[in-house]
Structure 1
Amino acid sequence: MPKAYVYTRHGGPDTEALVDVERPRPGAGQILVAVRAAGVNPVDWKLRGGYRRPGESEKTAFPVVLGGEVSGVVEETGEGVTGFAVGDEVFGNTVAGGYAEYALLPAAVTARKPADLSFTDAATLPIAAATAYDGVRQLDLPAGATLLVTGAGGGVGAAALQIARAFGLRTVGLASEGKKDFVEALGAVHVPSGPGFAKRVRAAAPDGVDGVYDLVGDPVLTEAATLLTDRSKLITAGAPPQTVADLGGSRVERARTSAVLDELARLVLAGELDPHVTQTFPLAQAGEALRTVEDGHARGKIVVEVAG
């Protein structure tokens, strides 16, 4: 039977296990892929811990397969799916987990993987890079404007800095001192995180910042808001909607389309977006991959690679 890395109840790492599962069957509008790589994201361990996205049911059917983004090869298509065929190399968001040998993807949020894009890099794009892209587009800053990204050393932050530069923006990255070299390598001015960072940002960007892309939440979000005269240019993927609304800003609005994935693949192949995969783990060590992200010390992206 196929293998999958799951959690068996809400809680900590002790709830995780590598288990045998039935091979999924695609429903209407879905694609079954043989997974080649799965991206690891903070939301994975947060969901294991009991976090629920807005509008989600309170009931959870265990075990739950971890992971929300994969790349792989089409094995089967469901009713109504057009544009994809068995053998196609694809990447996208998952229906019900991706740390597995097989995963289901919604066709509407799946894109063809270009031949020159590796499975490993492709697996990093549907969540972190797509969130970064959607946020930068939402801010709609003119070329030459300055964007502050908080939490700049993580997967979304690193992608946001690069995408912003591709759009002609100047970038300032707020991150720990240990991630200074990494942030600067992405073309951003690094500002050390910690209380009172707004003063340091003003010193680093004396002409001010025109937009803030927050990936941390409060109290960083509230302090970052003081740097803006136009609070409509404050967005967050790290705080609840009401928290940022009270400050005059908004949550990142996710597009969740294959067109965004196509554009991200183009940016990677053009050399404007480096996924910065810093570590890979086999499926049997998916728990170690998740610990690396959960501990908060990962730079760039962590990927679980599944043997083809």
Structure 2
Amino acid sequence: MTTQSQQPPRVPRTMIGVILTGHGGPEKLEYRDDLPVPTPEPDEVLIRVAAAGINNTDINTRIGWYSKGVKSGTGTGTAEGQRDDASWSGVPLQFPRIQGADCCGRILAVGSNVDPKRIGERVLVNTMLRHYVGRRPYECWTFGSECDGGFAQYAKAPAAETFKVECDWSDSEIGSIPCAFSTAENMLHRANVKAGEHVVITGASGGVGAAAIQLAKRRGAYVTAIGGKEKAKDMLAVGADQVVARDEDLILKLGKNTIDVVLDLVAGPSFPSLLDVLRQGGKYAVAGAIAGPLVELDVRTLYLKDLSFFGCTFQEDEVFPNLISYIERGEIRPHVSRVYPLKEIGLAQEHFGSKRTSGKLVLEIP
């Protein structure tokens, strides 16, 4: 006879969540308590979401920043950006959409092709999903962009890209990891950063930058962090060997041809100096353009110095599982600044945009 405690948890029909109704400001975010709970397909799992981090990509998607019509830095979408190319993939976003690139929770139900023993696992969802595009090289969907994400009580995701994580961190701490740390780890992976290399990280006081500091130190690199002078102590606290303020002369501080790898999240006007400090055969990896997507490139610098450039969005299969292993072995640590309830998502994103604090902002899901 089956006891009540052995029964699988009951899946409700409706849930609380935040939907994005179109490109625009915070007024496009609508808090609802009557959204349908998604039903997992045969190869998917249903997750009871506990926490979801705030990321640049959620805001940039909302405001339409990914459109080529936007020429300025992140957080500055314009009417010109409200175009059909205003998404990661360049395909028009489908509204309404539940955003949330981060998702920590527990598996509540599974599709017919998934082992029921997975029910109850505490999990993280890979931000960049290959399942939905047939695992084709250099193609992926972003969780919370091309499909619904973590800003709701329940979310579904491919079972193969939903990873069990075993550690003593809180849900909010785990929920701060996926987007920021996988982006940073992907940059290090693509640039093949090795022990003893000197790595410069721009935007190092932000979520991805701070993650990149930890992950570069984990590999044995020497790290120069670039960020706001007022956040120098924070960057040193997460592992940076030295800090250069973003308004300082980088060439004067570091010298030409001295750096092995640049991990760039800023781009904008500082781009030429980043190439000047790279040594012959140096590597430049980019996954953001906080200061603006249009840069001045002297192609002679690129080819005469034999530099390698890496654009970093698509992630190889090993990147996210490696990240899970770092968590479980205690090789990285969370960096959470504040936790907001889901209902205050607008305030949380406003706080995020102000850049007032270091560390991740996380939404707690009711």
Provide the TM-score with structure 1 as the length reference. Answer: 0.89
- CA–CA separation in structure 2 for the residues paired with 1:96 and 1:244: 37
The answer for the alignment partner of 1:6 in structure 2 is: 19
Say yes or no: does 1:197 pair with 2:250: yes
* Structure 2 CA distance for partners of 1:244 and 1:306, relative to 1, 3 Å: farther
User: Secondary structure in 1 aligned to 2:263?
Assistant: strand
Residue of 71, 75, 84 corresponding to 2:108: 75
Residue of 42, 45, 48 corresponding to 1:34: 48
The answer for the alignment partner of 1:146 in structure 2 is: 198
The answer for the alignment partner of 2:311 in structure 1 is: 251
1:265 deviates by 3.3
User: Secondary structure in 2 aligned to 1:285?
Assistant: helix
Provide the TM-score with structure 2 as the length reference. Answer: 0.75
Stretches of structure 1 that go unaligned for 5 or more consecutive residues are: none
Amino acid at match of 2:45: I
1:116 deviates by 2.2
* Structure 2 CA distance for partners of 1:25 and 1:287, relative to 1, 3 Å: same
Say yes or no: does 1:167 pair with 2:226: no
Asked if 2 retains the 8 angstrom alpha-carbon contact of 1:244 and 1:250, the reply is no
The answer for the alignment partner of 1:235 in structure 2 is: 285
* Structure 2 CA distance for partners of 1:151 and 1:306, relative to 1, 3 Å: same
Say yes or no: does 1:55 pair with 2:89: yes
- CA–CA separation in structure 2 for the residues paired with 1:242 and 1:109: 35
Asked if 1 retains the 8 angstrom alpha-carbon contact of 2:257 and 2:278, the reply is no
- CA–CA separation in structure 1 for the residues paired with 2:294 and 2:150: 27
- CA–CA separation in structure 2 for the residues paired with 1:158 and 1:54: 23
1:289 deviates by 1.5
The answer for the alignment partner of 1:107 in structure 2 is: 159
- CA–CA separation in structure 2 for the residues paired with 1:30 and 1:241: 39
Amino acid at match of 2:219: F
The answer for the alignment partner of 2:267 in structure 1 is: 217
User: Secondary structure in 1 aligned to 2:45?
Assistant: strand
Asked if 2 retains the 8 angstrom alpha-carbon contact of 1:122 and 1:265, the reply is no
What is the Cα-based RMSD across aligned positions, in Å?
Answer: 2.5
1:75 deviates by 1.5
* Structure 2 CA distance for partners of 1:193 and 1:111, relative to 1, 3 Å: same
Amino acid at match of 2:283: K
User: Secondary structure in 1 aligned to 2:343?
Assistant: helix
* Structure 2 CA distance for partners of 1:268 and 1:113, relative to 1, 3 Å: closer
* Structure 2 CA distance for partners of 1:165 and 1:15, relative to 1, 3 Å: same
1:231 deviates by 5.5
User: Secondary structure in 1 aligned to 2:181?
Assistant: helix
- CA–CA separation in structure 1 for the residues paired with 2:168 and 2:356: 30
Asked if 2 retains the 8 angstrom alpha-carbon contact of 1:155 and 1:301, the reply is yes
1:261 deviates by 3.4
- CA–CA separation in structure 2 for the residues paired with 1:149 and 1:55: 26
Stretches of structure 2 that go unaligned for 5 or more consecutive residues are: 1-13, 67-85, 128-142
1:79 deviates by 4.1
- CA–CA separation in structure 2 for the residues paired with 1:97 and 1:15: 16
Asked if 1 retains the 8 angstrom alpha-carbon contact of 2:337 and 2:358, the reply is yes
The answer for the alignment partner of 1:292 in structure 2 is: 351
1:195 deviates by 6.0
1:25 deviates by 1.1
- CA–CA separation in structure 2 for the residues paired with 1:267 and 1:241: 35
Asked if 1 retains the 8 angstrom alpha-carbon contact of 2:105 and 2:122, the reply is yes
Amino acid at match of 1:91: L
Amino acid at match of 1:252: C
* Structure 2 CA distance for partners of 1:298 and 1:80, relative to 1, 3 Å: farther
Query: Over residues 91-130 of structure 1, what are the superposed CA-to-partner deviations in whole Å (9 max), with x where a residue is unaligned?
Result: 1133412111111222232110204233222212221101
1:170 deviates by 0.5
Say yes or no: does 1:16 pair with 2:29: yes
- CA–CA separation in structure 1 for the residues paired with 2:277 and 2:315: 27
Residue of 127, 143, 153 corresponding to 2:179: 127
The answer for the alignment partner of 2:99 in structure 1 is: 66
1:256 deviates by 5.6
Query: Over residues 199-223 of structure 1, what are the superposed CA-to-partner deviations in whole Å (9 max), with x where a residue is unaligned?
Result: 2233xxx982111000112222332
* Structure 2 CA distance for partners of 1:231 and 1:31, relative to 1, 3 Å: farther
Asked if 2 retains the 8 angstrom alpha-carbon contact of 1:2 and 1:102, the reply is yes
1:268 deviates by 3.1
Higher deviation after alignment, 33-42 or 71-80: 71-80
Asked if 2 retains the 8 angstrom alpha-carbon contact of 1:279 and 1:302, the reply is yes
